[in-house]
Amino acid sequence: MTDNASALQLLLSGDPELFAIVRLSLQVSLSAVLFATLIGLPTGAFLALVRFAGREPIIVVLNALMGLPPVVAGLAIFLLLSRSGPLGGLGLLFTPQAMVVAQTLLVTPIIAALARQTIEDLWVEYRDELAAMDVGPLRRIATLIWDARFSLVTALLAGWGRAAAEVGAIIIVGGNIQGFTRTMTTAIALETSKGDLPLAIGLGMILMSIVILINALAWLARRAGERYAG
């Protein structure tokens, strides 16, 4: 009870460090979603529309990667960005950028796989009509993405939810450095280990609110989709 009360107090006091942690969490996860969208959406559209040898194994792997354990993603990016690794020269390990890279790796398969499914389903439905209207390949992709936009936004939000809530990848590549790479999830892990439960609970409450917000947005996207697209 007292833990919860002091957690609330902490939130209401508007502690600047707390604010910085929340802001970094949002910056990192949203940047990851942006990059994952730039990579995953075209990849999903390509896999949905183009038939080539090896396409189906790629789809199976992509679907499996939706469940990629964050620590594995973290480890892979750690080895990649470590000074002794192939991209060590960039000096990105233990920076927010490294966390964005790791979360992009986590989120891209989600967006690509969901986009592939959504676009392919719509493509099956639209194929004949678009062929009959003599719609060229670029305009075809644009049409499918635009008409699937509400489902695609839901896919982006699913990706964001995963990024905002994970700790395994960013704690490895970010190092949980105070004031630099400490996010809500890594701070919760740290404060819990310090036995400072009020701060952990306070951050947990903010994180939960954000997750609820993400789901509310997903719900609104679905509803808007029904309203505009039937």
Partner 1 sequence: MFNRRCIIAAAVLCAAALAAPAHAQDKSIVVASTTSTQDSGLFEYLLPIFKQKTGITVKVVALGTGQALDVGRRGDADVVFVHAKEQEEKFLAEGHGVKRFPVMYNDFVLIGPMDDPAGVKGMKDAARAFRAIKDKQADFISRGDRSGTHSAELKLWKIAGIDIAKERGPWYKEIGQGMGAALNTAQADNAYVLSDRGTWIHFKNKGNLAILVEGDKRMFNQYGVMLVNPAKHPNVKKELGQEFIDWLVSPEGQKAIANYKINGQQLFFPDADDPNA
Partner 2 sequence: MHAAAADLPVMFNRVTIVAGGATILQDITLTLDCGPPTILIGPNGSGKTTMLRAAMGLIPATRGRITWGGRGASAPTRRAIMFQRPAMLRRSVTGNVRFALAAAGVPRDKRETRSAELLAEVGLTGLERRPARRLSGGEQQRLALARALARDPALLILDEPTASLDPAATKAIEDIVRTVTARGVKVVMSTHDLNQARRLAGDIVLLHRGRLIEAGRAQDFFAAPRTPEARRFIAGDLLV
* Contacting positions for partner 1 (CB under 8 A): 24, 26-28, 30-31, 33-35, 37, 82-85, 88-89, 91, 93-97, 100, 149-150, 152-153, 156, 175-178, 180-181, 190, 192-197, 221, 224
Query: What is the identity of the amino acid at 12?
Result: L
Cβ pair 155, 111 in contact under 8 A: yes
Under the binding rule (CB under 8 A), the answer on residue 125 touching partner 2 is yes
Q: Rounded to 5 degrees, what are φ and ψ at 202?
A: -60, -45
**DSSP-assigned letters across all residues of 23-61:** HHHHHHHHHHHHHHHHHHHHHHHHHHH---TTHHHHHHH
Residue 42: contacted member of partner 1, partner 2, none (CB under 5 to 8 Å, by partner type) = none
Q: Which of 148, 161, 157 is nearest to 225 (CA)?
A: 148
* Interface of this chain with partner 2, residues 133 to 152, rule: CB under 8 A: 133-135, 139, 143, 147-148
Nearer to partner 1, 51 or 227 (CB): 227
Residue 180: contacted member of partner 1, partner 2, none (CB under 5 to 8 Å, by partner type) = partner 1
Place of tokens 């038939």: 51
Interface with partner 2 (CB under 8 A): 122, 125-126, 128-129, 131-135, 139, 143, 147-148, 225, 227-230
